[in-house]
Amino acid sequence: MKVIQHSVETLQTALISNRQDLVTLYNKYTKNERHLLEEGFHSGQPGSLFQPITVHSDSDWIPAHPEEPQDFESFYRDLYRKTPDASLHTIYIQTIGSFGEVGSQTDQYVEWLRDYCQVFFYGLSVKLLPAVTVAETRCSFRINSNSHNIQIRTRDLLRFLEERKPKDAFCIVGLTMIDLYPKDSWNFVFGEASLSMGMGVFSFARYDDNFYSRSYAGRLQKQLQPKQGDYSVFDDYYTPPISSTLLLRSCKTMTHEIGHMFGIQHCQWLNCVMQGSNHLEESDRRPLDFCPVCLRKIQVAIGFKIAERYQALLQWMEENQSQTSCQSVPLFPKPTETFHTSKLWLRRCLDILQST
Burial of 339 (0-12, 13-18, 19+ CB in 10 A): buried
- Torsion sign over Cα 187, 193, 194, 196: negative
Adjacent-strand bridge partners of 171:
91
Predicted pLDDT at 277: 87
Task: Name the pLDDT band for 328 (thresholds 50, 70, 90).
Answer: very low
Domains in the chain, CATH or no CATH each: 90-251 (3.40.390)
3-state helix, strand, coil in the chain (%, to 5): 40, 15, 45
Lowest mean pLDDT among 56-60, 145-149, 215-219: 215-219
Q: Does the pLDDT at position 79 exceed 80?
A: no
Q: In Å, how far from its chain's centre is CA 25?
A: 28
Q: How confident is the model at residue 56 (pLDDT cuts 50, 70, 90)?
A: very high
Confidence of residue 350 (pLDDT cuts 50, 70, 90): very high
Burial of 97 (0-12, 13-18, 19+ CB in 10 A): buried
Element (H, E) at 38: none
Tell me: pLDDT of 221 over 60: no
Task: Tell me what the mean pLDDT of segment 113-129 comes to.
Answer: 97
Give the residue numbers marked as catalytic.
257
Bridge partner list, 180: 152, 189
Give the mean model confidence (pLDDT) for residues 299-303: 97
- If you write DSSP's letter for every residue of 154-166 in order, what string do you get? HHHHHHHHHHH--
Q: Which of 18, 7, 60, 20 is nearest to 281 (CA)?
A: 60
**Selected residue with higher pLDDT from 36 and 224:** 36
**Average pLDDT value for residue range 204-227:** 74
Least confident window among 186-190, 237-241, 305-309: 237-241
- Distance, in Å, from the CA atom of 121 to the CA atom of 185, rounded to the nearest integer, reads 35
Q: pTM of the full predicted structure?
A: 0.92
Please, which pLDDT band fits residue 349 given cuts at 50, 70 and 90? very high
Average pLDDT over residues 146-151: 84
pLDDT of residue 313: 98
The mean pLDDT of 60-84, rounded to a whole number, is: 90
Q: Is the pLDDT of residue 195 over 90?
A: no
Confidence of residue 223 (pLDDT cuts 50, 70, 90): very low
